Amino acid sequence: MPVTTCPVTIRIQQDDFDIAREIAVLTGNRTDIGAVVSFSGICRGDEDSAKIAALSLEHYPGMAEEEIRRHADEATSRWPLNGVTVIHRVGRFMPGQNIVLVLTASQHRQAAFQAAEFLMDYLKTNAPFWKKEESASGTGWVEAQARDDEAAARWTRS
Amino acid sequence: MKVKYFAWVRERVGKAEETIEPPATVRTVEELIAWLSGQSEAYAYAFEKPKVIRTAIDHAHVKSDAAIAGAREIAFFPPMTGG
Per DSSP, the residues of A33-96 read: --EEEEEEEE--SEETTEEEEEEEEEE-TTHHHHHHHHHHHHHHHHS-EEEEEEEEE-EEE-TT
A4-33 average pLDDT score: 94
pTM for the predicted model, two decimal places: 0.94
Give me the interface pTM, i.e. the ipTM: 0.95
Identity of the amino acid at B64? S
Positions in chain B whose pLDDT score sits under 70: none
Asked whether the beta carbons of residue A124 and residue B81 sit closer than 8 angstroms, the reply is yes
Give all domains of chain B, ordered by start, each with its CATH number: 1-75 (3.10.20.30)
Q: For residue A1, what pLDDT is reported?
A: 45
Helix H or strand E segment including A118: helix A109-126
A120 CA to chain B: closest CA distance, Å? 7
The number of angstroms, rounded, from the C-alpha of A12 to the middle of its chain's C-alpha atoms is 11
Residue of B nearest to A42 (CA): B83
Q: Report the half-sphere exposure of A38 (CA within 13 A, side-chain side).
A: 13
Give the separation between CA A32 and CA A5, rounded to whole angstroms.
10
Q: Is A116 part of the contact surface with chain B (CB cutoff 8 Å)?
A: no
Q: Which of residues 59-78 of B touch A (CB under 8 A)?
A: 59-61, 75, 77-78
Whether B8 has its CB under 8 Å from any CB of chain A: the answer is yes
Is any Cβ of chain B less than 8 angstroms from the Cβ of A88?
A: yes
The arithmetic mean of pLDDT across residues A13-28, rounded, is: 97
Buried b (16+ CB within 10 A) or exposed e, B58-80: ebebbeeebebeebeebbbbbbb
Is the pLDDT assigned to residue A73 strictly greater than 60? yes
Average pLDDT over residues A76-101: 97
pLDDT the model gives residue A10? 98
